[in-house]
Amino acid sequence: METLTPILAAAVRSGTPILYATLGEILMEKSGITNLGLEGIMLMGALSGFVVTLSTGSPWLGLLFAFLLGGCLGLLHAFLCVSLGSNQVVCGLAMTMFGSGASALMGRNHIGVAISGLHSFPLPGLAELPVLGRVFFNQDAMVYLSFALVVVLYVYLNFTRPGMNLRAIGDNPKAADAMGLPVARLRYFYCIVGSGLVALGGGYMSVVYNKFWAEGMVAGRGWIAVAMVIFALWNPFQAALGAYLFGGVEAFQLRLQTAGTPIPAPLLMMLPYAMTILVLLIIAVGKGRSILLRAPAALGIPFHREERD
Amino acid sequence: MRLKIEKRLVPSAWLKVTVPVCSVLMAFAIGSLFLYFQGVSPLKAYTVMASSAFGSAYDLSETIVKALPLAMVSLATMSCFTMLLWNIGAEGQALMGALAAAAAVRYFPMENPFAMLGLMALFAMLLGGLWSGFAGVLKARWNVNEIISTLMLNYIAIRGLEYFVYGPWRDPASLGFPMTKPFIDSARLPTLWGTRIHLGLYVVLFLTLLMWFLLRRSRWGYEIQVIGSNARAAHYAGMNYERSVVLVMFFSGAIAGLAGMCEVSGLEGRLQAGFTAEYGYTAIIVAWLSHLNPLVSLLVAFLMGALMAGGDALQIMMGLPVATSTILQGLILFFVLGGEFFYKYKISWDGGR
């Protein structure tokens, strides 16, 4: 256990950016909008968070700015997909390309600069718990915030009126519209907030986790988050489980590399990706077609009030 | 007066041309803002891009060299997109094709170029097809989301290729660079007219006509079009969705694999890490911008090739990241997506009360 706890604590840290992005995507998908641009949004969040932290010296301002910029990108996605009814898959690809290009251009003078970022502190009371204390409650504030977010989102989605409305517009926008819900406006709202959370995950990478900026530093985590949503079956708690599982594979893989294992690094680095496919497969085989029942029924389908079919 | 939005019964034909053209112009306009606020003269950047893409016969030939894999991979993805199968794994499938071709050269070297190139193409198409067909089986049998599986397979392919070029296949004489030994002469696709344009040009032209025929004139193409536009109707008409998914995925992976083989055999002459420059993703834009029309995709691939050549020039001559040109790609796609609204719907001012 003594050797395992540092790896588990590292797993929580490296799973946190994926967790934020996954929670953001869950919000968007619950409202019926797929956003495949997570990779691009996270990169923009990572860059903006880093630049603002660097120039103001405040990591919290940096993270706030990352959230706001993510919201702007979510607004763009919502405009194209909600108002104009564009193809959501292609729109997400465009977002990924735009985000990776724009962050590379704007971040080119910030490579190799370090910031001090956020520091870990033990959470009073909980940090003394055996094992769990060291793994979960000796982290930075953003990790604690993500715990709270998981609980809040779970309660919001399942036990509140607005949460039920959110599920309604994603499952049956026509009925929700007849009930008097402003479907388009709500979808805008969840796209903006969801993309903000996604960008916050990117900001965590540069401001807290790495404390530097590097071109393309998100390295596929955005896409893994998209997969995580399915793994989690749109449930925030399962999203946390999935994110830490992947963080665990990553931390374990890093540990093996520094320990000088005979296994070549590229093969170890395949692990998280291979595991994503494996996990999706296990879920699909285990649940059969019922996975479709858990997905928001109107996911990816544009909704226009005027159209009747 | 109020704004009125009506659905067009027939998509406007002339907008199909003007929307993409305006999209490109507006993307460049927004892109120039980005460059300007980054302290780069947009005029200078665009001049550098244009002159390096079209400036001389040599530049033009290099643009075509870049357009070839784009055209081929976009053809590969078209059959999938036609049936709304979101295969975004062409990148990995092309990498696997290149890897298989290199394996053929390494383990079965032959003097006869026809036999050698034939074997390389066979290996490449087989492995590319299997790589994508695997995702197809997962989709058909267990309904595993193909966007995620093909994407993850891309990352696995990248690492797999790195394993070989950093490890067992590394050329000892390469001074530590991650690349294999140069291919033997019989494994090189001949180049044309003293440029770097290789025989892949003819492969692309042939595949374009083939895909046009398959998608627009064949029974198979008709089937996948029906599946794409109305899966339920296709099912009632007795079309087998599962079989089509696997078949189409295998087919598109095979073509992407061939594209990877042409790239290493025609251009690099060896396998090295990162040789695709993310053609696989750009090709998806090409397929989408050309409205899944194989003939149009040739032209679009050429223009995208120019954009990529321009991106390289920005790095070499102005010290900007190569990725700068992907901003333009993303913006073009945004505007085209937004613009599609205008040929599906008609907007007018309602004059009455």
> How confident is the prediction for chain A on average, in pLDDT?
86
B150 touches chain A (CB under 8 A): no
Quick one: which of B260, B279, B124, B327 has its CA closest to A107? B327
> Residue A197 has what pLDDT?
96
* Number of domains chain A contains: 1
In a domain, B24, yes or no: no
In a domain, B190, yes or no: yes
Residues of B in contact with A309 (CB under 8 A): none
Q: Which residue range is the domain that position A99 belongs to? A: 4-294
Mean pLDDT of B307-322: 82
Mean pLDDT of A183-209: 94
In a domain, A98, yes or no: yes
In a domain, A246, yes or no: yes
Q: Is the pTM of this model over 0.90?
A: no
pLDDT band at A292, cuts 50/70/90?
Answer: low
In a domain, A299, yes or no: no
* Number of domains chain B contains: 1
In a domain, B16, yes or no: no
Mutate to test the interface with A, among B34, B150, B304, B327 (most CBs of A within 10 A): B327
What digits encode the pLDDT tens for the residues B204-235? 888 888 888 888 788 877 777 777 777 777 77
Mean pLDDT of B109-133: 88
CATH assignment at residue A231: 1.10.3470
Phi, psi of B40 (to 5 degrees): -110, 135
In a domain, A131, yes or no: yes
Nearest chain B Cα distance for residue A102, angstroms: 6
In a domain, B299, yes or no: no
State the complex-level ipTM: 0.84
In a domain, B192, yes or no: yes
Of A100, A267, A285, the CB nearest to B326: A100
In a domain, B308, yes or no: no
Is residue A168 predicted with pLDDT exceeding 70?
yes
> Residue A186 has what pLDDT?
93
What digits encode the pLDDT tens for the residues A10-42? 889 989 999 999 999 999 999 999 999 999 999
Q: Cβ(B262)–Cβ(B277) under 8 Å? A: no
In a domain, B189, yes or no: yes
Of B148, B162, B323, the CB nearest to A226: B148
Q: Which residue range is the domain that position B114 belongs to? A: 67-196+209-289
In a domain, B175, yes or no: yes
Nearest CA in chain A to B7: A307
In a domain, A309, yes or no: no
